A = this chain, B = another copy of it.
Amino acid sequence: MPEHGGDLSEAARLFGEPEGGWLDLSTGISPEPFPVPESDPASWQRLPGEADGLLEAAGACYGTSELLAVPGSQAAIGALPSLRPPCRVAVLWPTYAEHAHRWQRANHRVERVAADGLEAASEAADVLVVANPNNPDGRRFDPEALRRWHRRLARRDGWLVVDEAFADCVPGLSLAGEAGAPGLVVLRSVGKFFGLAGARVGFVAAPEPLRRALAEELGPWAVAGPSRLAARTALADAGWQDRAREILERDASRLEELLREAELFPAGGTPLFLWVPTDRAVAVRDGLARAGIWVRLFQEPAGLRFGLPGAEAEWERLAEALEKAL
């Protein structure tokens, strides 16, 4: 399986357990998470049903009613490849590694394609997988380009899969509002912007026959009841979302400044993480780890992804570690 951020057991294996515990900046999960109210006991007890308002709340938030709830967009990434016979799949690279891994595992012919090769790939592939904004480099793709690629793919029964796990802070980017068009598959998640990675709730915005096939593949009651309830509450709270967007943008600017002072130059990012391409990636990762701070190392291309600190003490710890360790 691909490696992922947020694996502190890996951090501890390599560097031991730091005094005061790890400060985990290795994910893009918001440090300002939605405060989940206490769960309704019935949500633990009953088999989760569809008539609980989750899809309506998600629909209002994402601007589409063509939605299926899934146990994390990861579950959709795992199941989508089984819905097509083996075909040619072009996956943006670098991006979230599970995409290529899961299509390959299901016997598709997978080509990893740099951003500047996507236009050509949209002519040649049966399925094109893009993340917008991309992770780990934060790269944005113009919705007009995505629409053009989608039209081309759809014409020959192909799919454009857009992973919008980090799109909540850049709403103008999303294609979710166009969901329902044949061959367009948009993935959303409450893990990152809402800070509810533990809930395992995501959504697939896609035409009804594809949603039905995916639901059958995932089987009944795929999303836990309390998780559905937590996600519904978060998705329905537009006021919280507006405030969170402001806070995250402010925090991302603060992080950028801090990194620049340490001569680490972000080349991109989203309000939830910054991407620092650097040949010193391993050394910086190690130096920060010795100070108990865990960031995500990428080897190819060499770089580091920094998530946001949360509490003021965490900011100070990072500032100190950057100064000392580098």
* A56 CB to nearest chain B CB (Å): 15
* A232 CB to nearest chain B CB (Å): 13
Which A residues are within 8 Å of any B CB, using their own CB? 1, 4, 6-9, 27, 29, 33, 35-36, 38-39, 41-51, 71-72, 74-75, 77-78, 98, 102, 191, 195-200, 216-227, 230
The chain B residue with its CB closest to the CB of A2 is B220
Asked if B197 and A226 sit within 8 Å, CB to CB, the answer is no
* A222 CB to nearest chain B CB (Å): 7
Asked if B216 and A45 sit within 8 Å, CB to CB, the answer is no
Question: Within the assembled complex, what's the spacing in Å between the Cα atoms of A8 and B35?
Answer: 31
Asked if A198 and B225 sit within 8 Å, CB to CB, the answer is yes
- Chain B residue numbers with a CB within 8 Å of A216 are 1
* A85 CB to nearest chain B CB (Å): 13
Asked if B1 and A45 sit within 8 Å, CB to CB, the answer is no
Query: Can you list 25 A-B pairs with a CB-CB distance of less than 8 A?
Result: A1-B216, A9-B51, A29-B46, A36-B39, A38-B38, A39-B226, A44-B196, A44-B199, A45-B198, A47-B197, A48-B200, A71-B200, A71-B224, A72-B221, A74-B220, A75-B219, A75-B222, A78-B218, A98-B219, A102-B219, A199-B225, A224-B224, A224-B227, A226-B226, A227-B227
Asked if A198 and B98 sit within 8 Å, CB to CB, the answer is no
Q: A198-B226, A225-B199 are in contact. Are A45 and B29 (CB under 8 A)?
A: yes
What 14 new A-B contacts, CB under 8 Å, besides A4-B47, A45-B197, A48-B198? A6-B46, A6-B47, A27-B47, A33-B41, A33-B45, A44-B195, A45-B195, A47-B197, A48-B200, A74-B219, A75-B219, A98-B219, A98-B220, A227-B227
Query: Which listed residue, B1, B27, B227, touches A220 by the CB 8 Å rule?
Result: B1
Chain B CB within 10 Å, residue with most, of A4, A41, A43, A200: A200
* A219 CB to nearest chain B CB (Å): 4
Question: Within the assembled complex, what's the spacing in Å between the Cα atoms of A44 and B1?
Answer: 24
* A12 CB to nearest chain B CB (Å): 9
The chain B residue with its CB closest to the CB of A228 is B198
Asked if B36 and A77 sit within 8 Å, CB to CB, the answer is no
